[in-house]
């Protein structure tokens, strides 16, 4: 099974749908996820991407059967390189990506949540990097985890493999919101629809700039964002938004 993709009202939902294998990020799953993320991504109709999953496990990480000694180093490299490509792709896309988590997210599955721009989780969700317990330290998940969590929290997860509850994940910044399971769809769509009300071109510029400046020192970050603010004013939607505000009307975005 590969992810299912559907789109309506500007929102594309990608559903990991291999619950029997705990939605593991096998090579075919990663290849399909990359295709679904990139599909017609520049279309004006696409405004938000939501990544969801079937079953009690959001994503268990890599398929360990693909990492056995039966496969060679070239195959192992292909798996990890493609996974890294998908994770970095999420932040390079011109639209916000939301993880809709209802269950357990472990290892590269936890990495997937940490890589998304926004994460909404049900109260029953848990997050862990238990690779150390099977002799495979979660080094690549640590990249996303270390950029989402305080260092000591991330390292405790990595060293012990113990899970964070949904509320602990919220407290430390791994997820954006925690809601009851029966409210998860409603809350995710509420955020998605709010995003859809804004200009796609403005959001694309803002997202790219956020990730560009966040790794810089303070002075460099302000130099980058000062220029981008000026660039933003040259966008048709930048001027439309200001004119609409002054004229006390709803903006008509060109995207």
Reported as type and span, the H/E element at residue 99 is strand 97-101
What mean pLDDT, rounded, does the chain reach? Answer: 96
Residue 178 predicted with pLDDT over 90: yes
Q: Are residues 30 and 66 in the same domain?
A: yes
Q: Are residues 189 and 210 in the same domain?
A: no
Quick one: average pLDDT of 94-119?
98
Q: Are residues 20 and 79 in the same domain?
A: yes
Residue 26 predicted with pLDDT over 90: yes
> Is 33 part of any domain?
yes
Are 169 and 121 contacting, i.e. CB atoms less than 8 angstroms apart? Answer: yes
Residue 2 has what pLDDT?
A: 72
Residue 33 has what pLDDT?
A: 97
Q: Are residues 160 and 239 in the same domain?
A: no
What are 233-250's pLDDT values in tens digits? 999 999 999 999 999 999
> Is 118 part of any domain?
yes
Residue 24 predicted with pLDDT over 90: yes
> Is 103 part of any domain?
yes
What are 181-226's pLDDT values in tens digits? 999 999 999 999 999 999 999 999 999 999 999 999 999 999 999 9
Name the DSSP letter for residue 117. Answer: S
Tokens 């890599």 found at: 62
Residue 1 has what pLDDT?
A: 66
Q: How far from each other are the two terminal CA atoms of the chain, in whole angstroms?
A: 35
CA distance 162 to 165: 10
Counting the structural domains of the chain, the total is: 2
> Is 204 part of any domain?
yes
> Is 222 part of any domain?
yes
Residue 148 has what pLDDT?
A: 96
Residue 67 predicted with pLDDT over 80: yes
- In this prediction, residue 103 has a pLDDT band, given cuts at 50, 70 and 90, of very high
CA distance 133 to 190: 38
Residue 72 has what pLDDT?
A: 83
Residue 190 has what pLDDT?
A: 98
Residue 28 has what pLDDT?
A: 94
Quick one: average pLDDT of 94-113?
98
> Is 24 part of any domain?
yes
Residue 224 has what pLDDT?
A: 98
> Is 91 part of any domain?
yes
- The CATH number for 208's domain is 1.10.12.10
Residue 70 has what pLDDT?
A: 72
Q: Are residues 102 and 120 in the same domain?
A: yes
CA distance 236 to 170: 37
Q: Is the pTM of this model over 0.85?
A: yes
- The CATH number for 119's domain is 3.90.226.10
CA distance 142 to 149: 10
> Is 255 part of any domain?
no
Residue 23 has what pLDDT?
A: 97
Q: Are residues 191 and 80 in the same domain?
A: yes
Q: Are residues 126 and 72 in the same domain?
A: yes
Q: Are residues 176 and 240 in the same domain?
A: no
Percent of the chain with pLDDT over 90: 94
Q: Are residues 56 and 169 in the same domain?
A: yes
Residue 77 has what pLDDT?
A: 93
Residue 68 predicted with pLDDT over 90: no
Q: Are residues 22 and 92 in the same domain?
A: yes
Q: Are residues 141 and 238 in the same domain?
A: no
In 3-state terms the chain splits into helix, strand, coil percentages (rounded to 5) of 55, 15, 30
Q: Are residues 210 and 172 in the same domain?
A: no
More confidently predicted of 74 and 36: 36
Quick one: average pLDDT of 126-138?
97
Tell which of 196, 216, 232 closes a domain.
196
Domain residue limits at 146:
4-196
């Amino acid at each position: 099974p590969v992810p299912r993709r559907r789109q309506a009202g500007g929102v594309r939902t990608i559903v990991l749908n291999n619950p029997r294998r705990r939605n593991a990020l096998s090579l075919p799953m990663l290849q399909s996820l990359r295709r679904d993320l990139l599909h017609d991504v520049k279309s004006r109709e696409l405004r938000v991407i939501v990544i969801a999953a079937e079953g009690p496990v959001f994503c268990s990480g890599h398929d360990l059967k693909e990492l056995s000694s039966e496969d060679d180093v070239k195959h192992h490299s292909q798996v990890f390189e493609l996974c890294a490509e998908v994770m970095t792709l999420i932040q390079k896309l011109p639209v916000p990506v939301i993880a809709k988590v209802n269950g357990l997210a472990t290892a590269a599955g936890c990495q997937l949540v940490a890589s998304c721009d926004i994460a909404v989780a049900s109260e029953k969700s848990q997050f862990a990097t238990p690779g150390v317990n099977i002799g495979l330290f979660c080094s690549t998940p640590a990249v996303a985890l270390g950029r989402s969590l305080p260092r000591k929290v991330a390292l405790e997860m990595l060293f012990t493999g113990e899970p964070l509850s949904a509320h602990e994940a919220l407290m430390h910044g791994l997820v954006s919101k925690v809601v009851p399971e029966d409210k998860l769809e409603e809350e995710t769509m509420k955020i998605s629809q709010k995003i859809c009300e804004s200009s796609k071109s403005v959001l694309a510029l803002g997202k790219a700039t956020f990730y560009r400046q966040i790794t810089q020192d303070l002075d460099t970050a302000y130099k980058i964002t000062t220029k981008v603010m000026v660039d933003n004013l040259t966008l048709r939607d930048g001027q439309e938004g200001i004119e609409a505000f002054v004229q006390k009307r709803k903006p008509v975005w060109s995207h």
